[in-house]
């Protein structure tokens, strides 16, 4: 009996020490306690002492264990371009999930910016004015922004939002820029495509980070004012996802006047603003056969600035990306000669172009497209909520049908998530982080999620969604969504390679240090990383076991009563994620990055953990508003269901015996991380989208809302308000019809009878007529004469021709 009690105590102590993760010395003491309790013989004590000495004394451990391990491990050589991508940016909160023991306090202390009075003024005045100047239909029909919009964008420094005030820009933070982009996107994709490239991954950003003082002084003020229209040329016919394989070539030579020059030959494509750019940023491979720069013959990938009027430049053609009329173009150069002084950052930065681009993308992917997608998602939420309420079938608003509630719930719940992650991410960038993995997560998840939401919106609108015209609010966004999916790293590549493939190397607490130590033969560094790694594996094994058995309840986490449970499940999820990551690293080694189906599922898992913490951060930062709780509950349940799906996909394909696989799958299905939101939760979210008030306003805040009923959204909003005001009166008329007080028929045909029988008052009858008229008007679709249709949008107006020729000077 005493022995059973002792074994129980030792087992509980083992589980406790393993769960919290203790030092090697504590484990050695624990082992001694076990030996003493079991009254072990002296030979076993001697063996244990020898093992303890080997493990505890670093000098002995390195000779006996670490160096032999180093010799048998084979890691693939990391290329310079891959190393630059891995080292780009910083590790932010995503690293917490790889640890298996996420520090939620740290995550919740991350900055969560708010709209300042100055930013609000810009949104209410300048951004509002830009949106007011042209509808999306007008822009699409003319295949360009109107000339007056271009001029206003220049005048109000929209092209210099991120350029400091001292250079003539607006000096906006990333959050301010993101907030402006979200509102512009809710009006037209063309606005964001045009404004985005001038502020994000273009010459201005590279000049700010790497340019010489002379380059900054000359170019930044011209870029801020729109005097220069920039583009950046990277992609080539044979260098898309593998951008490091570019063939654009520049050769250094000495000109007749003795100055060092570069002769460039290149062929680029998919370049936004290329056809009208006056300043081209170019990524190319620089060669210096005479070593005139003192950097050898093969200098490497370099970024340079080329004035568009330089001899040999070939511009002016346009691609037609899905019929979306933003400027996207091929850019070519034949024997283009510019001074080496045009290299961004000067000669010192020659050969550093890939590093520059990776550093810029490390943060940039998390700003522009996430902002644009959030604006679109909010617009979809606003439009579909109103339409579902206004549109009737079978005598009832279609938004009451469960088949419509389901996509409405996705639209509402995921829009809350996207705005949370947008603010959380740009807040980190403004705080100095360059979170490469989080930015990749943001780019991938925002674009994919918004594509789904637009699809849901189109399904809800039905025939109204597929008939183009000024009344149609979603069709052009539906057409445009493949564009953000494709650019800045295609989503297939981003998911399967960047988020986890590069993320595990960068964000794992020990992996990169181990790989670098093996490459350099540094046994001391490898020893330090390896044994900490082994300790981490040991800890996460125990944490996975105990948190799974307790469904996360053993985790010590922050949060109030409405969110604590979600933090516990996130701790549980992180432990399993870290455990499986290490298992797969041990199983596949460096070949894991080629197991793209597995890494894609791990990327999904990591992504939804990040989106979950962003959701919780938003809820807390905004004061745990009771009216937002249903959105949080729906979002968190949805997120855990996605993690569960990723986990099951990984387990199904684990390289382990079938019996073990079946047992593991059964266990995780019996004891899942989460399931999809309930129908009741979905109904609450769906009805919130259809009801005017604080919840709907808060969810869709920051988008462009035209007030005039001649505008499509203004018309829809007016119909929603009138229908809502008339709802009680309409219900009374329907009740009177059912009771036989009024003849059978539709409400709109019973108004006069209801008025005569005093079921309703004259004021109520007027309200019903106004509501029915607004409802009928709101659900109409556009129709054109044959002549109008044949000529509609096919002619490029004169101002586009002028713009292409004169660059709107």
- Written as one string, the DSSP assignment of 736-765 is HHHTTSS-SS-HHHHHHHHHHTTSS-HHHH
Residue 437: name the closest of 792, 713, 88, 106 by CA: 88
Q: What is the mean pLDDT of residues 285-296?
A: 96
Is 90 exceeded by the pLDDT of residue 798?
no
Give the Cβ contact number of residue 105 at 10 Å.
9
Catalytic residue among 488, 514, 695, 772: 488
Is 90 exceeded by the pLDDT of residue 489?
no
Is 80 exceeded by the pLDDT of residue 692?
yes
Is 80 exceeded by the pLDDT of residue 535?
yes
Is 60 exceeded by the pLDDT of residue 807?
no
Is 60 exceeded by the pLDDT of residue 589?
yes
Is 80 exceeded by the pLDDT of residue 799?
no
Helix, strand, coil percentages in the chain from 3-state DSSP, rounded to 5: 65, 10, 25
Q: What is the mean pLDDT of residues 675-684?
A: 96
How high is the pLDDT of residue 79? Answer: 72
Q: What is the mean pLDDT of residues 663-680?
A: 94
Confidence of residue 797 (pLDDT cuts 50, 70, 90): very low
Residue entry with tokens 């999306």: 136
Per-residue 3-state assignment (H helix, E strand, C coil) for 119-131: HHHHHHHHHHHHH
Q: pTM here?
A: 0.93
Task: Indicate the average pLDDT of the chain.
Answer: 91
Confidence of residue 752 (pLDDT cuts 50, 70, 90): confident
Q: Are 64 and 54 in contact (CB under 8 A)?
A: yes
Percent of the chain clearing pLDDT 70 (strictly above): 97
Q: Specify the 3-state DSSP secondary structure of 171.
A: coil
How high is the pLDDT of residue 5? Answer: 86
**Token pair of 638 as six digits:** 């949805």
How high is the pLDDT of residue 557? Answer: 93
Per-residue buried b or exposed e for 248-260, using 16+ beta carbons within 10 Å of the residue's own CB? bebebeeeeeeee
Is 80 exceeded by the pLDDT of residue 47?
yes
pLDDT digits (tens, 9 = 90+) for 451-478: 999 999 999 999 999 999 999 999 999 9
Helix axes 629-652, 402-430, angle to 10 degrees: 90
Q: What is the mean pLDDT of residues 409-426?
A: 98
How high is the pLDDT of residue 680? Answer: 96
* Of the listed ranges 12-16, 281-285, 400-404, 420-424, the one predicted with least confidence: 12-16
Confidence of residue 429 (pLDDT cuts 50, 70, 90): very high
Virtual torsion, Cα 11, 14, 18, 21, nearest 10 deg: 150
Q: Are 279 and 228 in contact (CB under 8 A)?
A: yes
Q: How far is CA 478 from CA 418, 543, 545, 552, in A?
A: 18, 44, 45, 40
Confidence of residue 593 (pLDDT cuts 50, 70, 90): confident
Confidence of residue 234 (pLDDT cuts 50, 70, 90): very high
Q: In the beta sheet, which residues pair with residue 285?
A: 249, 301
How high is the pLDDT of residue 792? Answer: 54
**Token pair of 784 as six digits:** 């054109």
Q: How far is CA 568 from CA 156, 421, 565, 613, in A?
A: 48, 20, 5, 12
Give the Cβ contact number of residue 347 at 10 Å.
18
> CA-to-CA distance for 62 and 330, rounded, in angstroms?
57
Confidence of residue 197 (pLDDT cuts 50, 70, 90): confident
Q: What is the mean pLDDT of residues 150-178?
A: 96
* Torsion sign across C-alpha atoms 604, 606, 608, 611: negative
DSSP line for 426-491: HHHHHTT--BHHHHHHHHHHHHHHHHHHHHHHHHHHTHHHHS-STT-SSHHHHHHTHHHHHSSS-H
Q: In the beta sheet, which residues pair with residue 397?
A: 392
Q: What is the mean pLDDT of residues 695-721?
A: 94
For residue 805, count CB atoms less than 10 angstroms from its CB and return exposed for 0-12, middle for 13-18, buried for 19 or more.
exposed
Confidence of residue 801 (pLDDT cuts 50, 70, 90): very low
Residue 551: name the closest of 671, 678, 677 by CA: 671
Is 90 exceeded by the pLDDT of residue 751?
no
Confidence of residue 793 (pLDDT cuts 50, 70, 90): very low
Is 90 exceeded by the pLDDT of residue 551?
yes
Q: What is the mean pLDDT of residues 129-144?
A: 93
Q: Is 488 a catalytic site residue?
A: yes
Residue 613: name the closest of 559, 685, 556, 548 by CA: 559
Most confident of 50-54, 398-402, 789-793: 398-402
**Token pair of 664 as six digits:** 């593991």
Is 50 exceeded by the pLDDT of residue 794?
no
* Torsion sign across C-alpha atoms 62, 63, 66, 71: positive
* Torsion sign across C-alpha atoms 122, 128, 134, 135: positive
* Torsion sign across C-alpha atoms 20, 22, 27, 33: negative
* Of the listed ranges 578-582, 656-660, 741-745, the one predicted with least confidence: 741-745
Confidence of residue 709 (pLDDT cuts 50, 70, 90): confident
> CA-to-CA distance for 703 and 458, rounded, in angstroms?
19
Q: What is the mean pLDDT of residues 319-344?
A: 95
* Of the listed ranges 2-16, 340-354, 419-433, 539-553, the one predicted with least confidence: 2-16
Is 50 exceeded by the pLDDT of residue 796?
no
Q: What is the mean pLDDT of residues 607-625?
A: 97
> CA-to-CA distance for 664 and 658, rounded, in angstroms?
10
């Amino acid at each position: 009996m005493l022995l059973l009690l002792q074994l129980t105590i030792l087992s509980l102590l083992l589980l406790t020490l393993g769960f919290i993760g203790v030092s090697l010395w504590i484990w050695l003491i624990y082992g001694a306690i076990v030996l003493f309790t079991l009254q072990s013989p002296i030979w076993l004590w001697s063996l244990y002492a020898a093992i303890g000495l080997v493990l505890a004394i670093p000098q002995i451990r390195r000779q006996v264990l670490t160096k032999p391990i180093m010799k048998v491990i084979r890691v693939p050589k990391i290329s310079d371009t891959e190393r630059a991508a891995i080292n780009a940016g910083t590790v932010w909160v995503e690293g917490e999930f790889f640890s298996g023991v996420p520090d939620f306090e740290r995550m919740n202390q991350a900055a969560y910016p708010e709209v300042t009075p100055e930013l609000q003024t810009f949104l209410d005045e300048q951004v509002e004015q830009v949106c007011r100047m042209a509808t999306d239909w007008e822009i699409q029909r003319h295949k360009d922004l109107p000339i007056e919009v271009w001029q206003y964008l220049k005048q109000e420094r929209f092209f210099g939002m991120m350029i400091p005030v001292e250079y003539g820009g607006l000096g906006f933070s990333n959050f301010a820029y993101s907030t402006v982009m979200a509102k512009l996107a809710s009006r037209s994709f063309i606005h964001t495509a045009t404004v985005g490239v001038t502020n994000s991954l273009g010459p201005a950003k590279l000049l700010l980070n790497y340019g010489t003082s002379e380059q900054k002084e000359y170019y930044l003020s011209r870029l801020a004012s729109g005097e220069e229209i920039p583009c950046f040329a990277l992609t080539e016919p044979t260098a898309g996802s593998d951008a490091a394989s570019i063939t654009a070539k520049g050769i250094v030579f000495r000109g007749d006047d003795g100055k060092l020059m570069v002769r460039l030959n290149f062929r680029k494509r998919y370049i936004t603003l290329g056809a009208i750019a006056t300043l081209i940023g170019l990524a190319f491979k620089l060669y210096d056969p005479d070593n005139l720069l003192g950097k050898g013959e093969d200098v490497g990938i370099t970024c340079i600035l080329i004035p568009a009027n330089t001899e040999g430049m070939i511009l002016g053609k346009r691609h037609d990306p899905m019929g979306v009329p933003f400027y996207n173009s091929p850019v070519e150069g034949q024997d283009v000669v510019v001074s080496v002084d045009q290299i961004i950052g000067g000669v010192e930065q020659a050969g550093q172009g890939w590093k520059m681009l990776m550093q810029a993308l490390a943060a940039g992917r998390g700003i522009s497209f996430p902002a644009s997608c959030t604006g679109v998602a909010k617009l979809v939420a606003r439009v579909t909520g109103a339409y579902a309420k206004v549109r009737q079938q079978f005598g009832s608003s279609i938004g009451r049908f469960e088949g419509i509630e389901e996509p409405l719930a996705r639209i509402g719940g995921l829009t809350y998530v996207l705005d949370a992650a947008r603010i959380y991410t740009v807040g980190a960038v403004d705080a100095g982080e360059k979170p490469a993995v989080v930015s990749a997560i943001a780019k991938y998840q925002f674009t994919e999620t918004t594509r789904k939401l637009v699809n849901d919106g189109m399904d809800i609108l039905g025939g109204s969604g597929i008939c183009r015209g000024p009344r149609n609010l979603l069709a052009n966004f539906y057409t445009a969504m493949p564009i953000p999916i494709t650019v800045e790293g295609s989503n297939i590549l981003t998911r399967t390679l960047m988020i986890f493939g590069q993320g595990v190397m960068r964000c794992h607490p020990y992996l990169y240090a181990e790989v670098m130590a093996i490459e350099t033969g540094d046994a001391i560094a490898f020893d330090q990383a390896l044994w900490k790694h082994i300790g981490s594996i040991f800890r996460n094994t125990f944490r996975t076991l105990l948190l799974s058995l307790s469904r996360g309840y053993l985790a010590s986490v922050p949060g109030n009563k409405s969110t604590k449970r979600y933090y516990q499940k996130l701790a549980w999820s992180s432990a399993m994620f870290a455990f499986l990551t290490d298992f797969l690293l041990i199983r596949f080694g460096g070949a894991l990055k080629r197991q793209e189906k597995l890494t894609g599922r791990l990327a999904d898992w990591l992504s939804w953990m990040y989106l979950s913490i962003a959701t919780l951060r938003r809820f807390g930062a905004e004061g745990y508003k009771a009216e937002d709780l249903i959105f949080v509950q729906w979002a968190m349940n949805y997120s855990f269901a996605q993690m569960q799906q990723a986990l099951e996909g990984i387990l199904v394909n684990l390289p382990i015996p079938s019996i073990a696989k079946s047992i593991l799958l059964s266990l995780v299905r019996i004891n899942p991380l989460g399931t999809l939101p309930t129908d009741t939760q979905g109904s609450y979210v769906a009805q919130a989208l259809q009801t005017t008030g604080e919840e709907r306003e808060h969810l869709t805040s920051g988008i462009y809302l035209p007030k005039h009923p001649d505008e499509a959204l203004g018309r829809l909003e007016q119909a929603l308000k009138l229908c809502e005001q008339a709802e009680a009166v309409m219900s009374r008329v329907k009740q009177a019809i059912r009771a036989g007080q009024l003849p059978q028929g539709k409400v709109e045909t019973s108004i006069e009878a209801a008025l005569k029988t005093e079921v309703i008052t004259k004021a109520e009858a007027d309200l019903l007529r106004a509501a029915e008229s607004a409802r009928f008007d709101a659900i109409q679709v556009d129709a054109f004469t044959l002549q109008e249709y044949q000529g509609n949008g096919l002619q490029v107006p004169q101002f586009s021709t002028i713009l292409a020729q004169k660059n709107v000077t």
